[in-house]
Structure 1
Amino acid sequence: MRLISRRGALLALGTATLAACAREETPEDGKTMDLSGINDAVEASSPRVVSVTKSERVVDGLGHGVSMELRVDGADAMSSEDLDAIVKAIWLSAPWEPNGISLMAFADDAEEEPVDLRAAAKELTPTFSDSYGEGGISMIAMQKRYGEWKKPA
């Protein structure tokens, strides 16, 4: 039991550190990376998603991840089915293999009313999620749930 708690603590610490160290990356030519394909896939993935208001490719200690802010149809907590569809859409549409996916969601009809993603994320095993902010999540190990990443056609 002690080994499991240490592993869990190390994973949580590592995820929190990666989220804290994340920074936006642009391609070497200095142009902003076009993430419209990912945005479109997320908006089509769940009826709860109204729009993607922010999406970034971020760099952390382990590679490249995706950070997104979503507007959803209400302030009630996200279901695991809806969150699963959103994360899977990101995994399948990203033009690089994301090592982490960080999401925040806000009710579309409120200025900054956060929508809780934490309970839904805990149900998406075997991925590992950590919470941040007011209901936001950071997920890793998507390949365990969605299979090996393949570059979209």
Structure 2
Amino acid sequence: MMQIVINTGIILLTIAGMEALSWAIHKYLFHGPLWFIHKTHHQHRKTSWFEWNDLFSLGFAALSIWLMWVAHKTLDYRFWIGAGISVYGVIYFIFHDWYIHSRMRPFRTYNRYLLNIRRAHKIHHKSTGRLPSEEFGLLVTRKQYFK
């Protein structure tokens, strides 16, 4: 029973860590030296569902799979970190690609938190250039976006 609590804790801490790490990577790398890849996310898709920015998600998926693979026999902490990264990836897909950007059939909600997330992300996309930009997180935003 204790091991279940520990493993669940590792997954939850990894999700929180991924949010913080994603914020920093988004702000300092994606809107910095990796802008040449990330800029496809700030442009309208014309011909394809795929954008070069999706390479970042594939990289995190590869890291997650690798961590789970190297620890799949022992189920040590690396497996649960990989699982946490994977869960964050699912959350990212649902919130960001499906809900915010409607890359699949959009859904409506009146949930205050979800509307806040969408509003903050739309503010982020007001700028189609590398700078200026604000609101780099996915799950956490400033309070000003709650109305």
> Could you state the TM-score of these two structures normalised by the residue count of structure 1?
0.28
Identify the structure with the greater helix proportion: 2
- Between the two structures, name the one with larger relative contact order (CA 8 Å, sep ≥ 6): 2
Identify the structure with the greater strand proportion: 1
Larger Cα Rg: Structure 1 or Structure 2? 2
